Every structure is written in C-alpha cells, then in structure tokens.
C-alpha cells in the first residue's frame, strides 16, 4: 500500500510542483525579458540622444549667432538659437535647451527650443534637480544621462557638454519623454499583472492539490486498513494482486483456533481483544516488506518475501504460533485467555498466481485444523 500511496501522492505532488515551477520559471523569464527590453529601449534612446546632440553641437559650432551668444547673452540672439533647437524638439525629445554656469556657480538658460508655453528666457535661473549630474558633465567633459524621477512626463535627461578649444562653455540638455517607455509599459504592465495573478492562482491551486492529496492519502489509507487491528484488509490484498512481482511471495494463512467459542462464551469485546493481540504478535514477528492482512473475521494472511529460505519462513511461522500460544491474552482484571493458532504455508516456488498460492496455503490450514490445531502444515513441491 505504501508504494501505491507513495506513487499516487508523488504523482499529484509532482504534477502540481512542475506546474508551479513552470509558472515561476515563466514569471522569472518574463521579468527578465522586461528588464532586458527596458535596457534595450533605454539604450536605443541614449543612442538617439547622442546622435541628435552631436548633430546639434556641430550645427551650433557652424552658427555665428551661437558664438555671439557666448559673449552677448541677449534675448534676440538667444531666440535665434532657440529656433534652431526647436527643430529637434518632438514627442521623443520633449525639451531641448542649452544651459551655462554663471560666475556665481548658478546654472542659467542660454537658449531653449521648447514650445512657447515651456520656453525659458535667456539668463533665467535653472534649478537643477540633479546638480551633480550637471557638474559631472562639466568636469568629465563627456555626455551623461540619468533617470528623471521628479518631473512630469519625463523619463531621461541627457546632457552633452558643448566644448570650445577644450573648454566646456555650455551644456546641451535633451529631456526625453516617457512616451516610448510608456508605450512599452502599457503592454508590459497588464501582462505582468496577468502573470502575477496567474502565479497567485497557481500557488492557490498547488495548495489545494496538496491538501486534496493529503486528504486522498488519508482516505485511501483508511479504506485499506482494518480499524480494529490496524493491519491491511482485503481491499489492500486486491490492490496487491494488481501489482507485478507479487506471485512469488510466500503465503501463510493463519486462523485462531476455536475463536467462535471465545466470542460465544466471553463476548465480542473479548473476541476483539484476542484478534488485536494475535495481530500484534504477527507484527512483532515480521519485517518491513512483509505484508500482514486481516483476511476474514479471525483469519489472517501473511505474505513473506521469497528471498527468505524455507527454514526461515517456517521459523517465523513457529515464532508467531509460539508467541501467541505461550502467553495468555489479558481480557480484563479477572480474565486471561490462552488462544492458539493454526498456520498453513505454501512453500511452492512455482510461479503461479498469488490467489492460487493462497488457496493452497488455505488447504494446508484446513489440514492443520484437521490434524489437531495449534500446529503448522507446510506444502512443498
């Protein structure tokens, strides 16, 4: 039975575990994919920003007004550069502007290509949300970028220092909108939520399967176990008969002698105590791998492994018979009963169906009864 239960339980557990692991694997893969895609989108945006900034910087260097603006920071000159910058403003690069650092160390607008409503005046003070990033662009004279977390509709800010003879004279800023990122997120977030839900459902199902499996295990165990003796019952024998490699087992059919008299004289409670006692003694005498089955009312079947020798089997049977016959069963404080058992064994090693083999052992039991009881009769080829 252990095998059967183990197999069915393992099957249940295995399927649900595989499903759960599969779901988790799917989730991890998906999250990894999101990560990779995010990286890729960011990389593409940074590449684009780099190309655009290079183009703008080269256009600025060609523009005489830009050189003029460095010396004369007036609104009309700034407006001309702002117009140039505005050509590069679009849904992706939402704001394109140039900043400079004044003598006090404050950042100010030099030109701004943003739409009219967002356009800043020349020399307007710029309050940087990430001052260190601006300083980094100035110090390292390299393009830098960062995620923008405190601005509405912006994802990344890209800073490109504008150099003149090795000196950074201003910084070109490209504010990249969340549009591209949101387009991706709009697809990914519902998918991610669905996957989360799927995983939660899967975990719930797994839990249900575990509970159901446990309940099924208990139910099957209960249906195959005799409630009085805790030995296996006939259902279990039926299950055993459906298994492979069972036909070679050696059957011992055991019957309590004059059990009807015990029941009739001392009652069913006493009878039950006798049966329980006999069952216990059989359990003590056998080993794991042997099967003990309550076959009928006072009849038991022991199936021993065929790896045991004939002598060993007879010794086991003898030990059971002696242990039961030698010690009285305590029914209550005033009554002790001595019972005996008869055993029929089929030691034939021929590969015949187990039921046939049991039938032969049963015939031997009948012979033991005929020959005076409290004895063992053995069939050999």
Partner 1 sequence: MKTIIACCLSATLLFSLDVLQVKAQIVSKIAHAFVLKDIINIYISEQDDLAQVKGMDSSLLYTSYEEADIAFIDKKRSSTESKNERYIFSTSYYLYQNDPHVIGTFFWQKGRPTILIKSSILKEKGIVLPDEFTKYEE
What is the Cα–Cα distance from 307 to 310, expressed in whole angstroms? 9
What is the Cα–Cα distance from 306 to 252, expressed in whole angstroms? 12
What is the three-class DSSP state of 105? coil
- What are the CB-based long-range contacts (under 8 Å, 24+) for 332-340? 335/266, 335/270, 337/262, 337/266, 337/270, 337/274, 339/256, 339/257, 339/258, 339/259, 339/262, 339/274, 339/277, 339/278, 340/256, 340/257, 340/373, 340/374
**Burial of 85: CB neighbours in 10 Å, binned 0-12, 13-18, 19+:** buried
What is the Cα–Cα distance from 267 to 226, expressed in whole angstroms? 20
Q: Please, which residue, 39 or 264, has the CB nearer to partner 1?
A: 39
- Cα-based distances in Å from 117 to 95, 120, 163: 11, 9, 29
**What is the smallest separation between the CB atom of 39 and partner 1, expressed in angstroms?**
8
- Cα-based distances in Å from 182 to 66, 74, 185, 186: 35, 38, 5, 6
**What is the smallest separation between the CB atom of 148 and partner 1, expressed in angstroms?**
8
**What is the smallest separation between the CB atom of 114 and partner 1, expressed in angstroms?**
6
**What is the smallest separation between the CB atom of 97 and partner 1, expressed in angstroms?**
8
Q: Please, which residue, 76 or 152, has the CB nearer to partner 1?
A: 152
What is the Cα–Cα distance from 276 to 138, expressed in whole angstroms? 93
Does 298 qualify as catalytic in the annotation?
yes
**What is the smallest separation between the CB atom of 55 and partner 1, expressed in angstroms?**
21
What is the Cα–Cα distance from 381 to 379, expressed in whole angstroms? 7
Q: Please, which residue, 78 or 342, has the CB nearer to partner 1?
A: 78
Q: For 166-219, give the DSSP string.
A: TEEEEEEEEEEESHHHHHHHHHHHHHHHHHHHHHHHHHHHHHHHHHHHHHHHHH
In the set 39, 47, 180, 298, the catalytic residue is 298
Tokens of 313: 């089997």
Q: Please, which residue, 155 or 300, has the CB nearer to partner 1?
A: 155
Q: Cβ(277)–Cβ(267) under 8 Å?
A: no
List of residues contacting partner 1 (CB under 8 A): 31, 34-35, 38-39, 94-95, 106, 114, 118, 120-121, 124-125, 127, 129, 147-155, 175, 178, 181, 185
Q: Please, which residue, 97 or 239, has the CB nearer to partner 1?
A: 97
**What is the smallest separation between the CB atom of 159 and partner 1, expressed in angstroms?**
14
Q: Cβ(101)–Cβ(109) under 8 Å?
A: no
What is the Cα–Cα distance from 50 to 298, expressed in whole angstroms? 92
Q: Please, which residue, 4 or 181, has the CB nearer to partner 1?
A: 181
**What is the smallest separation between the CB atom of 237 and partner 1, expressed in angstroms?**
58
What is the Cα–Cα distance from 286 to 317, expressed in whole angstroms? 9
Q: Please, which residue, 125 or 350, has the CB nearer to partner 1?
A: 125
Catalytic machinery residues: 298
């Amino acid at each position: 039975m252990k095998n059967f239960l183990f197999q069915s339980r393992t099957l249940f557990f295995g399927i649900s575990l595989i499903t759960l692991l599969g779901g988790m694997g799917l989730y991890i893969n998906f999250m990894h994919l999101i990560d990779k895609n995010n990286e890729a989108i960011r990389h593409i945006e940074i590449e684009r920003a780099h190309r655009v900034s290079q183009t703008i910087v080269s256009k600025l260097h060609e523009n005489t007004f830009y050189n003029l603006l460095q010396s004369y920071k007036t609104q009309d000159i700034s407006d001309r550069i702002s117009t140039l910058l505005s050509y590069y403003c679009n849904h992706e690069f939402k704001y394109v502007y140039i900043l400079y650092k004044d003598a006090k160390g404050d950042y100010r607008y030099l030109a701004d290509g943003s739409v009219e409503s967002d356009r800043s005046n020349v020399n307007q003070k710029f309050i940087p949300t990430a001052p260190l990033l601006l300083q980094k662009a100035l110090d390292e004279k390299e393009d830098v970028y960062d995620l923008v977390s405190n601005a509405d509709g912006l994802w990344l800010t890209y800073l490109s220092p504008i150099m003149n003879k090795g000196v950074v004279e201003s910084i070109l800023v490209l504010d990249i909108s969340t549009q591209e990122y949101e387009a991706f997120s709009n697809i990914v977030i519902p998918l991610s939520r669905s996957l989360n839900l799927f995983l939660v459902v899967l975990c719930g199902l797994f839990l249900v399967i575990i509970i159901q499996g446990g309940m099924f295990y208990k139910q099957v165990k209960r249906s195959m176990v005799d409630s009085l003796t805790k030995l296996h019952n006939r259902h279990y024998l039926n299950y055993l008969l459906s298994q492979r490699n069972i036909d070679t087992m050696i059957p011992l059919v055991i019957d309590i002698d004059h059990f009807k008299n015990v029941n009739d004289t001392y009652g069913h409670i006493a009878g039950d105590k006798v049966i329980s006692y006999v069952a216990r003694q059989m359990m003590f005498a056998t080993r794991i791998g042997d099967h003990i089955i309550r076959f009928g009312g006072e009849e038991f079947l022991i199936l021993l492994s065929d790896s045991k020798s004939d002598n060993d089997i007879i010794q086991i049977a003898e030990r059971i018979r002696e242990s039961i016959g030698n010690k009285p069963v305590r029914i209550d404080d005033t009554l002790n009963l001595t019972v005996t058992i008869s055993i029929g064994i089929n030691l034939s090693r021929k590969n015949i169906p187990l039921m046939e083999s049991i039938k032969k052992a049963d015939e031997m039991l009948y012979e033991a009864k005929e020959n005076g009881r409290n004895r063992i009769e053995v069939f050999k080829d």
